[in-house]
A = this chain, B = another copy of it.
Amino acid sequence: MKRKNGKISNAVIRRLPRYRRYLRELQKQGVEKISSNDFSELIGYTASQIRQDLNNFGDFGQQGYGYSVDGLYEEVSKILGLDHDYKMVLVGAGNLGQAISKYAMSIIDQGFQLCAAFDIKPELAGKKVEGITIYPYEELESYVSENQIDIGIICVNKGNAQEVADKLYSAGARGIWNFALVDLVVPEQVALESVHLADTLHSLAYHMNDIRRKSSGAEGKKK
């Protein structure tokens, strides 16, 4: 992977997993090569954008031919860091936490292993969610550092999320997958990805109402 210099914009990064998904589909269908034009039609980005995006990371194509599906899939996987495994812990085994842990458990085959869960409620200690033991919150830091955990999944309520993030960092975790509805502040050595589920639902609500307004107000055309 011949990485070029300069910072890659986040817009590009967010498209990479999607490129990878479509490449995987093509691979399954036995397609060997694809041109940026054909790929454009499939994935819905312009051919120009596809070439620009990929060229941030190297010259993966071949003029007059296109891109090798297998090769590009491997490259994109490598760029994303999916060529090695990640150990994760879940913090907060309440409603949302149990929900997410269920999902997290199901992607071990994709290189993400959920190793343990933690909760501040003493009565949960020793119990299991989806086969994963819940430990007392006090043991979080020692567990993370001793077991070289890479990623902490934060599912505590928003008032405690920042403290959990701080603990995860000081114990050595370098990735935080945050589901608490709060905007965390983390040192630049930590990668943070927040999934604000409620925000996405609210955004959905907006669009539903926007569509309704448009269709009902089709006659009234306000200035």
Q: How far is the CB of A156 from chain B (nearest CB, A)?
A: 14
Interface residues on A, range: 35 or more
Q: How far is the CA of A211 from the CA of B7 in the complex (A)?
A: 12
Quick one: which of B175, B181, B206 contacts A13, CB cutoff 8 A?
B206
Q: Assess the B44–A202 pair: CB atoms within 8 A.
A: no
Q: Is the CB of B181 within 8 A of A204?
A: no
Q: Does the CB pair B205–A86 fall under 8 Å?
A: yes
Are B81's CB and A175's CB within 8 A? no
Complex Cα distance A183/B13, Å?
17
- What is the CA–CA distance of A6 and B44 in the complex, to the nearest angstrom? 25
Q: Which of A31-39, A63-71, A94-102 contacts B (4 or more CB under 8 A)?
A: A94-102
0/1 per residue, A165-185, Cβ < 8 Å to B?
A: 000000000111100010100
Interfacial chain B residues near A110, Cβ < 8 Å = 198
Copies of this protein in the complex: 2
When chains A and B are docked, how far (Å) is the Cα of A184 from the Cα of B79?
Answer: 26
Known pairs A102-B98, A193-B200, A198-B107; A205 contacts B20 (CB<8 A): no
Ordered by A's residue number, 21 sampled pairs between the chains whose C-beta atoms are within 8 Å are A3-B222, A8-B210, A13-B206, A17-B203, A18-B183, A79-B206, A80-B202, A82-B205, A95-B103, A96-B102, A96-B103, A98-B102, A99-B99, A99-B101, A99-B103, A175-B204, A177-B201, A190-B211, A193-B203, A193-B207, A195-B200
